[in-house]
Amino acid sequence: MSVLVIGGDKITRLKSLLVSLGATKTHHWNSRNKSTTHKQLPQKTDMLIMLTDFLNHNAMHDFKRQAKKCEIPFICVKGLSGCSECLISSLAHKIHNNKGAYNENIVQNEKR
């Protein structure tokens, strides 16, 4: 599973969680550079995680739009608390069980 994380500075703990959930590739875009907000999502992304406390509002909405268009399951979380880890784990398991098929029901926290 290939995962793109947008936002945050250090995602070492999140990377460890993703590896334990079966992620083989983890890409990280910190959102400190303005050029990040104009990037297109990579083609072979299986899951998108947006850390909203490190991501501006317009960029988050643009990445959500791109994810929906490309049928990439995504999750928006504020910080990496135990609750966020549970939501990320749940989404990863649902993606794995659906073998990567996009399903609107597996997208968590879509209304943020």
pLDDT in tens, 20-55: 999 999 999 987 777 777 889 998 999 999 998 878
- HEC string of 10-64? CCHHHHHHHHHCCCCEEEEECCCCHHHHHCCCCCCCCEEEEEHHHCCHHHHHHHH
72 vs 33, more confident: 72
Helix (H) or strand (E) holding 86: helix 82-97
Give this prediction's pTM.
0.81
Beta bridge partners of 76: 50
Q: In this structure, how many other beta carbons lie within 10 angstroms of the beta carbon of residue 94? A: 16
